[in-house]
Structure 1
Amino acid sequence: MAACHIVPTRDSNIFRLRVRLPSSEDATPELLELSTVVAGCRFRTLYWPARTSPSDKFGIRPTGPVLKAAAKVSTHMVLLDKTGTPAPSIGTRFHVDGMFVLCAPREDVKANCVVDNHFVVLCSVNIEHHSDPAIPPWAPPSSSTENELPHLAHNLAVLWGKQELTDVSFDVGGESLGAHRLVLAAASPVFRAELYGPMAESNMTSSITIQDMEASTFRSMLHFIYHGSLPDAGKIAIPSTIAEYQHLLVAADRYAVERLKKICEDKLCADGITVDSVVSMLELAEQHVCSNLKARCFSFLADGDNFKVVATSGEYLRLMQSFPNLLAEARDRFKIPHEKPTIMDPGSHKKTRLC
């Protein structure tokens, strides 16, 4: 029978879900649930083994009250490949009823992640706290240490800008970009696992290759990690088009850099949605768990004229076919009758109903 268990790590915000790959002879249950305490909050981790669908699904969400001071609880899950390195390109992520879900095709898991008939999902939790309501936001820092922190951040950014004392390098799109391990680990649980996890020693001297990302996108993400803001015009390339913001959002989600992801999402909500782009934006929002962007897309489609133009396109219908959750949400929002929509088969010139 399929079995999974939670493996703690030295980081109180990160744990591993180790899963034994079910065999065809196993009486696989529909759902396996585990409970754990992370960062002072109790979370429930769920695993739906591939049975009627070709994909394994994993979920994580808080159960019971979170810390009273918590402003926001965010979660992230990523499969580890056979070397123990995060493989964020495997699977898709989305939210269902407030729960983070990772969905990965079983064949991809078998080919890339299974070792000794087991595979591992890295789970991380980030809790953002409210400021003390008794302390106004304009109050000066309470200690000399806090006064020194901006100088430390500035000095680290200067070191990165000069590429001095870097201890890790990344080969991205034919370029080599250096950085500092501790800085990346502090900003991203995915980098933390990659640089300080079981396979960290193999990455100490060699360059880490980043697939499926442009050098300018990775550089902008590094700039944000060091500076807390996107690059200024005239210094280095900045996101100047909507497509570049889309690429940067994908990178931020891949490495769980939540603040950068929100900045990109806000930019796309404000300037990126048109009749021509709304379908790709909706797909982006669903794949990378961007609830605000998805809501903005649906608000745009709520305009009758926009909906008439978009909803009859093959691109829109294919999106609804690929993401049944979106189809159900669109039906509820736009009062569409619950019948299967159709899409034109370009080979036969016949319409085929979507499942």
Structure 2
Amino acid sequence: MTQSISTARTRPATRGSSLLRIIVSRLVQAVLLLLAVIILNFLLIHLAPGDPATVIAGASGGATAEQLAQIRESYGLDDPVWVQLWHYIANILTFDLGYSFYFEESVAALILDRLWPTVLLAGTGMMAGLILGAALGIFAAIKPRGPLNYAVTILALVGFAAPVFWTAVLLILAFSIAVPIFPIQGMNSILAPDDFFPRLLDTAAHLALPATSLGLIYLALYSRTARTSMLEALESDYIRTAWAKGLSGKAVVLKHALRNAVMPVITLFGLQVGSLLSSVVLIEVVFNWPGLGSLLLESIVRRDTPVILGILLASSLLVIVANLLTDVAYRMIDPRISVGGSRHE
């Protein structure tokens, strides 16, 4: 009896220390992964054709060979690639992302200035698609022969087939030109008011079409995934057992089926964060949205290497953080699942 009580007392502490070790291990893996991404990005950018010294000298192309050589020496561009990589990593450790060749401004300042518009656009579009898509898919699975089920199926097919820029152009034609409800481009009007609530409404009006363009992609994706997952959960043996016990339909769906059906949706959400930037770039270009996507495209055209590396680093951090948060969400939804992905019965 004494031994069983002692075991019961020490088990929570053991599980807590095990969870802490797993979290520390994931953080170490994240740091190593980030270091590998930094090295790979740097090498790929520097192996690409072109000379950053010409960008620094100006687009006129009138710099002499002596001037270009002096620029390379001043910026360390004439050093071996491994020396440049070492200096770049050392600067990152001191939170120094370098200096833009074209904008003549700190890369960190440029990214911080463009970060909020991108977070606002991507967060609004992706979360709206996640919430609405998961809800539609779950309700469609509850009544698999109802009209909502067929509507979700058609929505998923159309959403997968339609390119994001095509959807954005259609929304502009429909709601900015044919029926001028929403503005076409920018994040705020030129004469936007400075007061908080009027400016907030102005930003919301500009955000409506780009966020809808992005959200429709994820609405189709998550609705299909949630519908399939919920159908599989409702046909499982443990759900039949719950029905046999006489539980109500609400209890069966919410307490048993939903918790397991939502896990693939969360997994997909964590994976989709990595591909989010490509969709955001297209949408920001179409709507002239002043975010990281349009900054990245402009920096690639102008071969502004420090800015490109800074944005790639920021996007890599976003993916790593999203994966960690996905693990935390697993733990919150089902405490039997460890952060490492295994179940504890």
Interval of TM-score (by shorter of Structure 1 and Structure 2): under 0.3
Task: Mark the structure with the bigger radius of gyration.
Answer: 2
Task: Kindly indicate whether structure 1 or structure 2 has the higher relative contact order, using CA contacts under 8 Å at least 6 residues apart.
Answer: 2
TM-score for both structures, normalised by structure 1: 0.20
Structure number with higher strand proportion: 1
TM normalised by structure 2 equals 0.20
Greater share of helix residues, 1 or 2? 2
